[in-house]
Structure 1
Amino acid sequence: MTQHGNLRSDSLPSTVREFLAAHIARDAGTALSFLAEDAVIVDQSESFRGREQIRAFLSDAGSEFQYTTEQIGAARVDDDHWVVTLRLEGTFPGGVADLGYRFSLRDDVISELVIANHGS
């Protein structure tokens, strides 16, 4: 397995960059457009499948808190797998969280996204 770490944002596939931009802007409709029809999102061990579950997750995730998001890392695992580390700082318990967004791509769309505490 080849892993190239500390990539700049512009080195990420456009699908990943554009999904993250929409997700951070809380634009669930646009974020959803970068996902395969059969995509799955796993957030802290809870799975979301199907367009309606994923749309609800994208619309609601973290909506009860105020926070900022900063990309602090990115790595290419192989042609179809990428990891982006985001630091969230805000009004949620603990105030700071580093989250790994592990993307699996298929045919230029996201087939799976696993979000976990960095290092998990």
Structure 2
Amino acid sequence: MHQDQHRPITPDALPEVITRYLKAHRAHDTATAVTAFTGDATVIDDGNTYKSTAAIEKWLGRSATEFTYTIHLTDAWQADATHYIATQHLEGNFPGGAVDLRYQFTVRDGLIDSLVIEP
């Protein structure tokens, strides 16, 4: 998905399931965050692929404890009824200290089916 194919939307216009995931992720609430995904969802982050809610739950748990950081939602985009991008600014004790990441979501049946996180 290229950003030029997307239209900007306000963050509160993101689907509820994405907002729920982002809020839970920001609060390090793994139990709530994992409920936003389909059973066969895929997450791609930092060059690794996590498939299934069990793998995603492990990834969420590790990412919540590996570093200390703050997350601020800065932008939201929509391509169509199932594809969204949320840009988040992270600052913390990870290498580099600050980064803007694009969270690219695909929604299916009211849940997150795919999430790709890239700079």
Do both proteins adopt the same fold according to a TM-score greater than 0.5, normalized to the shorter chain? Answer: yes
Over aligned residues, Cα RMSD in angstroms? 1.3
Aligned to 1:108: 110
Moved over 3 A (4+): none
Shift of 1:62: 5.0
Offset at 1:4?
1.2
1:45 matched to 2:44? The reply is: no
Hey, what does 2:26 align to over in structure 1?
A: 24
Which range moved further: 41-50 or 60-69?
60-69
Aligned length: 116
Q: Does 1:4 align with 2:7?
A: yes
- Counterpart of 1:57, as a letter, is W
Kindly indicate whether the alpha-carbon contact (under 8 Å) linking 1:2 and 1:78 is maintained by their aligned counterparts in 2. no
Partner secondary structure for residue 86 of structure 1: strand
What TM-score do you get using the length of structure 1 for normalisation?
0.91
Mapped partners of 2:6, 2:61: distance in 1:
32
Question: What is the one-letter code of the residue matched to 1:52?
Answer: A
Aligned letter for 1:26?
Answer: H
Unaligned runs of 5+ in 1: none
| Larger helix percent | 2
Q: Does residue 89 of structure 2 align to residue 87 of structure 1?
A: yes
Identity rate, percent: 34
2:80 aligns with 78
Q: Which moved more, 1:21-30 or 1:59-68?
A: 59-68
TM-score under structure 2 normalisation?
A: 0.91
